[in-house]
Amino acid sequence: MNILIKQARIISDKDPNHNKVMDILIEGGKIMEIKKAITPKGNVKVIEEEGLCVSSGWIDLQTVSGDPGFEHKESVDTLLDCAAAGGFTAICIHNYCQPALHNKSQIEYLVNKTKNKVVDVYPVGTITIDGKGKDLAEMYDMKQSGAVAFSDYKTTIKDAGTLMRALQYSANVGSFIITHCNDESISHGGQMNEGETAVGIGLKGIPSLAEELMLQRNLSILEYTGGKLHIPTVSTKTSIDLIKKAKANGLNVTAGVASINLLLDDSVLKDFDTNYKLDPPLRSKKDVQALRNAVENGIINVIVSDHLPQDVESKDLEFDLADNGAINLQTAFSCALEGLKEDNIDAIVKCFTSEPRSILGLQLHAISEGSEANLTLFSLKQETILTEKTNNSKSKNSPFFNKSLKGKVIGIINGSRSYFN
């Protein structure tokens, strides 16, 4: 299908047409023309939208499906539908399945199941066997089979020696480690951010120290071993300060933030809505502002959806019994835009495009004539409203149903494949 994108503002600071409003003609999956005005000829799909923008295709470094083992929460196919609707031409899938993504067979299963889809998939193998934080998994075999990095997802590597060996081994196989920071001996039993709201509603708090202490330990190990470390979802001001200092000292560390943590603070939990129960938790207003500032100044490298589907049986419970997580692929961009505002659209796009691709060692797709089309189309003027009808996930654990959010994803183009909302 040939596609003509009309009067779109190009947001791509690596391209000469950055911030220019242009027409883009795509034929056979390639960008054939970029001009001020192009007249449609023959059989061509014309895309015209209010406030239309186009960037290189977005990539999300942190998602999960439940396939295999928990397909009732999310299958690979529904995950990819969510990603496409959310504007992502590529996603990384972490371990949230049974058996775990801890050997080459499981990586190959995921690679083969997602071939030739509109959304590219990059598997993230586990650091340890079964993703339980103990014995190291076979990183070399998984890397050869297509794993782009190694992570135990939300399971913290408690043993310092295990993380030390993982950093050394991952460097030897030309990869890197992604590790969640949460000292469970401090956060144990916590339900939300430790602060005034937790005290007011009587829930046990999760101190910021639980994240910060583990982060400091991990950075110290990185300084000793070398290698490359990515912190997927930071949530506190002190964590930002630690990462800033580590970068200034030359450590090869990058950081991400869940887009919902850029928008909301812990005050939204006053009504005990379990869809706001997250890991890391929603923090204080001071932390939220620090996260926003860190995206603006480049200390935080990527914004992720942290899409974690949970079925009704896991969420429709008393708050302390409910599981963590929210579906967010279809609302990730709008959360970021609501939190950071339109003035920071360049930083938002960078966190969805060039920065995550750089972390993974992937080439950024240029928006230039002759290049393969890998594009995300979106509007800053329109709004997104997630409804039962538009939700592509098998799960419904989102706090944003029937709520208006700024910005709207129009669609994606990935070579000869495309998806439009």
* Type and span of the H or E element at 4: strand 2-10
The mean per-residue pLDDT over the stretch 11-30 comes to 95
Mean of the per-residue pLDDT values for the chain?
97
The mean per-residue pLDDT over the stretch 162-175 comes to 98
CA–CA dist 254, 241 (Å, integer) = 13
Phi, psi angle pair for 170, to nearest 5°: -65, -35
CA-angle at 75, arms to 85 and 138, nearest 5°: 110
pLDDT at 1: 86
* Type and span of the H or E element at 217: helix 208-225
The mean per-residue pLDDT over the stretch 20-46 comes to 96
Residue 57 tokens, joined:
């295709």
Catalytic sites, residue numbers: 306
CA–CA dist 174, 157 (Å, integer) = 21
pLDDT at 188: 94
Query: Look-up: residue for tokens 């949530």?
Result: 235
Give the residue from 184, 229, 246 showing the smallest Cα distance to 210: 184
CA–CA dist 154, 302 (Å, integer) = 18
CA–CA dist 381, 260 (Å, integer) = 20
Q: Residue 119: pLDDT band by 50, 70, 90 thresholds?
A: very high
Q: What is the pLDDT of residues 310-353, one digit of tens each?
A: 999 999 999 999 999 999 999 999 999 999 999 999 999 999 99
pLDDT at 362: 96
Worst-scoring range by mean pLDDT, 213-217, 264-268, 362-366, 386-390? Answer: 362-366
The mean per-residue pLDDT over the stretch 362-377 comes to 96
pLDDT at 404: 97
Domain ranges for the chain: 2-53+369-420, 58-360
Query: Look-up: residue for tokens 């480049």?
Result: 298
Q: What is the pLDDT of residues 35-51, one digit of tens each?
A: 999 999 889 999 999 99
Domains 2-53+369-420 and 58-360 share a fold: no
SS (H, E, C) 15-52: CCCCCCEEEEEEECCEEEEEECCCCCCCCEEEECCCCE
pLDDT at 237: 98
For residue 69, is pLDDT > 90? yes
pLDDT at 41: 87
For residue 260, is pLDDT > 90? yes
pLDDT at 14: 85
For residue 419, is pLDDT > 90? yes
pLDDT at 184: 95
CATH architecture of the domain 58-360 equals: Alpha-Beta Barrel (3.20)
CATH architecture of the domain 2-53+369-420 equals: Roll (2.30)
